[in-house]
Amino acid sequence: MRNRSFIKHYYIMLLPGMVWLLFISIIPMFGIAIAFQDFNPGQGIWKSTWIGLENFEYMFSLNDTKTIFFNTVYIAVMKIAGNLIVPLVFAIMLNELRLMVIKRWVQTIVYLPHFLSWVILSGILLDVFSYTGPVNGLLNIVGIEPVLFFARADLFPFIVVGSDVWKEFGFNTIIYLAALTGISPSLYEAASIDGATRMRRIWHVTLPGLRTTIVLLAVLSLGNVLNAGFDQIFNLYNPLLYSTGDIIDTWVYREGLLNMQYGLATAVGLLKSVVSFVLIIVSYLLASKFANYRIF
């Protein structure tokens, strides 16, 4: 049997990670107290006055709050839909491609944007969609007046969702491709003997074969309904776009850290954390029930 003294070493192995976790993740959880205080940085968390739910009442009375919650959910849901469907279609197309060399090249190229930061991609996008950029150049050729893309609040959500899907679709394809290798080739042979065309084979063999994966990914993405992507929006937006582009995370950053509304911003952040927590728990429960998914 295993030596009892091993246990001591197990604790030593866990120690550095747990200390790190304690300081960066666990202690900040107690900082949530700020949401229930009229927080004064000079007095700190121990001496600031407690005001109960006042921050929350104020939060719900603000128009900003409705806007940011709506924008967050709107952008996040569109992203979730796009990031489920586009990679699925792309994976099926790749799967049908018979030239293996080209398949590998295409895969290598479409994964690439995933590894570039939103800072870099935003710099590129701002340039590509600028007044004199190539997109406006193309519009000019078909006779459309130049558009100031990053001054148009009505277009901003589409740019955000479109560029996110563009960045991530290749990478999101990987899971589908892994699932596709699990479909038995004999199913395709049987279908073709029965006279199914390639489109019919995709419809009756490939798609049903991917069903569990699609459901699993859809269920797990539920936890992201309040994550519209801070890095991306923070680097793309400007004050002209607040009405459709401001999300919870960017608002909390501006009101909390820049305008020093600590109590209010923490209250909004807390609401987001709690709702997200519930959604993730629900999505994990659903995933384990329907797809037998467990994280460990």
| Residues between 46 and 85 that touch other proteins (CB under 8 A) | none
Cβ 144 to other proteins, closest distance in Å? 15
Shortest reach from residue 239's CB to other proteins, in Å: 6
For other proteins, the closer CB: 67 or 273? 273
Contact between 286 and other proteins per CB under 8 A: no
Report how far residue 288's alpha carbon sits from residue 296's, in angstroms, rounded to the nearest whole number.
Answer: 11
| Site for other proteins contains 42 (CB under 8 A) | no
Amino acid identity, position 95: N
Our finding on whether 88 is near other proteins (CB under 8 A) is no
- Residue 292, both tokens: 């037998």
- b or e along 138-153 (b: 16 or more beta carbons within 10 Å of the residue's beta carbon)? eeeeeeeeeeebbeee
Q: Please count the residues of this chain forming the interface with other proteins, following the rule CB under 8 A.
A: 105
Sign, CA torsion 36/37/41/47: negative
Min dist CB 60 to other proteins, Å, is 18
Taking alpha carbons only, the member of 177, 246, 259, 186 closest to residue 210 is: 177
- Residue 182 sits at φ, ψ, to 5 deg, of -85, -5
Closest distance to other proteins from the beta carbon of 51 (Å):
16
Among positions 74, 130, 158, 204, the unique one binding other proteins when judged by CB under 8 A? 130
13 binding other proteins? (CB under 8 A) = yes
Site string for other proteins, 168-197 (x = CB under 8 A): --x---xx--xx-----x--xx--x----x
H/E segment holding residue 118:
helix 118-128
139 touching other proteins, by CB under 8 A? no
In angstroms, give the least distance from the CB of 40 to other proteins: 12
Separation between Cα atoms, residue 118 and residue 212, nearest integer Å? 31
Q: Compute the least distance from the CB of residue 75 to other proteins, in Å.
A: 19
